[in-house]
């Protein structure tokens, strides 16, 4: 089974993808993680990507696509995978479809986690990140045991610059503009399913699992 999770920043894609991967016993492929792993491992693609990142430029679609192609061909993806962070636009969606077709595989469905702006701002503006291990906390939803200190490693917690309210609003504008064609693309294929992500994460997860069961009635979860 091949599933794509879409949604604006703060909709909970990463959180849902990790739990869903455990429940469905499928690998979670995050393009952000994939990019960092290639850079850290100093692969040829990672070194190319680092050149762009060091200049503050976006990593080209071609590089991300090559990384994704190699990842999808991995031994652990035989039963499928959950994709988070790709595609980001209609062009990438077409590239992914062509890639899967060459592998004689097909996308099962796209779950669009639709969260409202007030909810997104509340989630992201309260987010705290550990400087040492990268763990995430939230000032109200998941506060650390000690203020400003990571529960996991004792590192310092800070707020990212792009989690400030005005920056969040701009990120949302860019996201919606960038993905409008993508939503239309999958809607025309009858593969897009909108799920409200404003509520509890457990409710959202149950709805995605029901979609998975609908796509494969032999699925045991």
- 36 noted as active-site residue: no
Which of 160, 164, 169, 213 is an active site residue? 160
Give CA–CA dist 122/126, Å, rounded: 6
Contact 179, 192 (CB under 8 A): no
Q: Which candidate in 88, 90, 191, 194 is catalytic?
A: 88
Whether 18 is catalytic? no
Angle between helices 165-188 and 90-102 (to 10 degrees): 50
Structure tokens that stand for 164 in this block: 């400030």
Determine which one of 18, 90, 171, 191 is catalytic. 171
Strands (E), 24-84: 28-30, 81-84
List strand residue ranges (DSSP E) for 1-151, in order: 2-6, 28-30, 81-84, 109-114, 127-130, 136-138
In terms of C-beta distances under 8 Å and separation of at least 24 residues, what long-range contacts does 192-197 make, across chains too? Answer: 192/109, 192/110, 192/112, 193/109, 193/110, 193/111, 193/112, 194/112, 194/114, 195/111, 195/112, 195/113, 195/114, 196/114, 196/115, 197/7, 197/11, 197/12, 197/113, 197/114, 197/115, 197/119
Q: Clarify whether 71 is annotated catalytic.
A: no
Compute how many other C-beta atoms are within 10 angstroms of the C-beta atom of residue 64: 23
The residues annotated with a catalytic role in the active site are: 13, 88, 127, 160, 171
């Amino acid at each position: 089974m091949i599933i794509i999770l879409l949604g604006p920043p703060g909709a909970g894609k990463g959180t849902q993808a990790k739990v869903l991967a455990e429940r469905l016993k499928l690998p979670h492929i995050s393009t952000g993680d994939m990019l960092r792993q290639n850079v850290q491992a100093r692969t040829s693609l990672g070194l190319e990507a680092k050149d762009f990142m060091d200049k503050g430029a976006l990593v080209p679609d071609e590089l991300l696509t090559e990384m994704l192609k190699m990842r999808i061909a991995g031994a652990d993806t035989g039963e499928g995978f959950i994709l988070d962070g790709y595609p980001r636009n209609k062009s990438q969606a077409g590239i992914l479809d062509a890639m899967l077709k060459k592998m004689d595989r097909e996308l099962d469905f796209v779950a669009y986690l639709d969260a409202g702006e007030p909810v997104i701002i509340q989630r992201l503006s309260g987010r705290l990140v550990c400087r040492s291990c990268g763990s995430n906390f939230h000032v109200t939803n998941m506060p650390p045991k000690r203020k400003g200190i990571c529960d996991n490693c004792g590192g310092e917690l800070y707020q990212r610059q792009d989690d400030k309210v005005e920056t969040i609003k701009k990120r949302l504008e860019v996201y919606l503009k960038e993905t409008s064609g993508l939503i239309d693309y999958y809607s025309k294929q009858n593969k897009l399913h909108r799920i409200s992500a404003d509520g509890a994460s457990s409710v959202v997860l149950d709805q995605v699992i029901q979609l998975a069961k609908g796509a494969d009635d032999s699925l045991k979860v």
